[in-house]
Amino acid sequence: MELIVEDLSVARGGMAVLEGVCFRLACGHALVLRGPNGAGKTTLLRTLAGLQPPRGGRISLDREAMVYAAHADGIKAVLTVEENLRFWADLYRVDAVGAALEAFALGPLADRPAGALSAGQKRRLGLARLLVTGRRVWVLDEPTVSLDAEAVGMFARAVRAHLAGGGLAVIATHIELGLEAEVLDVARFRPRRVVTGDEDFL
């Protein structure tokens, strides 16, 4: 499997934010997206995830192979940690809750209501979700926010294991994960001229 993005242009609120994005990612490789705030990393990832249509260009990616993790973890406070994971595992029909809990050291917290977790613990739970989806392509938006150094290490290990298993990952992040990853600075793709959704009217 390979992720190929050709001449992709993406828009936020009708306004083009990136143009001519091209990259190619083979099995076992990761791509780290960099760029200042508001450069369009989130928009690019949401477009890859299929949540918004591209303005132009092509993405060769089987939607059935992709899992997306956003800023918000989608954690339900009244469910326990394990129930939260169990829901996603059932939805994706992958039974790997135990392994996922272990990978992010959530085992001792499994029966706690997720609402009682700290911000970092919640984030770990959100990332553990990736392991119960069984998907080959990870599309991750700022996965390390509110993680401490130790938890970042857990996350990096999980990504390395995923890549070693033939997976792919596209990650927007500002910190060094210690991964052997290609780096793409999205600021390169800033549109040369302003294009809005109201172009017809000019």
Partner 1 sequence: MKALLVRDLKLAVRAGGGFGLGLAFFLIVVVLVPFAVGPETALLTRIAPGILWIGALLACLLSLDRILALDREDGSLDLIATAPLPLEAAVSVKALAHWLTTGLPLVIAAPVLGVLLNLRGEGYGWLVVSLAIGTPALSVIGTFGAALTVGIKRGGLLLSLLVLPLYVPVLIFGAEVARRGAEGLSVATPLALLGAVTCGTIALLPFASAAVLRVNLR
Partner 2 sequence: MASIWEYANPRKFMSVTDRVLPWIAGLSAIALVAGLAWGFFLTPDDYRQGSTVKIIYLHVPAALMAINGWLMMLAASLVWLVRRHHVSALAARAAAPVGAVMTVIALLTGAIWGQPMWGTWWAWDPRLTSFLILFLFYLGYIALWAAIEDGDTAADLTSVLCLVGSVFALLSRYAVNFWNQGLHQGASLSLDKEENVADVFYFPLLLCIAGFVLFFLALVLLRTRTEIRARRMRALMARERMA
Query: For residue 68, what are the β-bridge partners?
Result: 139
- Given the complex with partner 2, which of 108 and 201 has the nearer CB atom? 201
**The only residue of 4, 56, 58, 71 in contact with partner 1, by rule CB under 8 A:** 71
What, of partner 1, partner 2, none, does residue 192 touch, CB below 5 to 8 Å by kind?
A: none
Supply the minimum distance, in Å, between the C-beta of residue 64 and partner 1: 7
Supply the minimum distance, in Å, between the C-beta of residue 176 and partner 1: 26
Supply the minimum distance, in Å, between the C-beta of residue 22 and partner 2: 23
Supply the minimum distance, in Å, between the C-beta of residue 87 and partner 2: 29
Tell me the angle at which helices 119-131 and 149-164 cross, rounded to the nearest 10 degrees. Answer: 10
What, of partner 2, partner 1, none, does residue 67 touch, CB below 5 to 8 Å by kind?
A: partner 1
Place of tokens 């959704």: 197
Token pair belonging to 35: 């760029």
What, of partner 2, partner 1, none, does residue 52 touch, CB below 5 to 8 Å by kind?
A: partner 1
| Rg of the chain, C-alpha, whole Å | 18
Distances in Å between the Cα of 166 and the Cα atoms of 5, 17, 32 are 19, 31, 17
- Given the complex with partner 1, which of 39 and 66 has the nearer CB atom? 66
Encoded amino acid at 188, one letter: R
Supply the minimum distance, in Å, between the C-beta of residue 17 and partner 1: 13
- Residue 60, judged by CB atoms within 10 A of its CB (0-12, 13-18, 19+), counts as exposed
Query: Does 111 participate in binding partner 1 (rule CB under 8 A)?
Result: no
131: left (phi over 0), alpha (psi -120 to 50) or beta: alpha
What, of partner 1, partner 2, none, does residue 51 touch, CB below 5 to 8 Å by kind?
A: partner 1
Residues between 183 and 202 with contacts to partner 1, criterion CB under 8 A? none
Token pair belonging to 81: 């940690």
Query: Does 145 participate in binding partner 1 (rule CB under 8 A)?
Result: no
Work out the number of other CB atoms within 10 angstroms of the CB of residue 181. Answer: 18
What, of partner 2, partner 1, none, does residue 91 touch, CB below 5 to 8 Å by kind?
A: partner 1
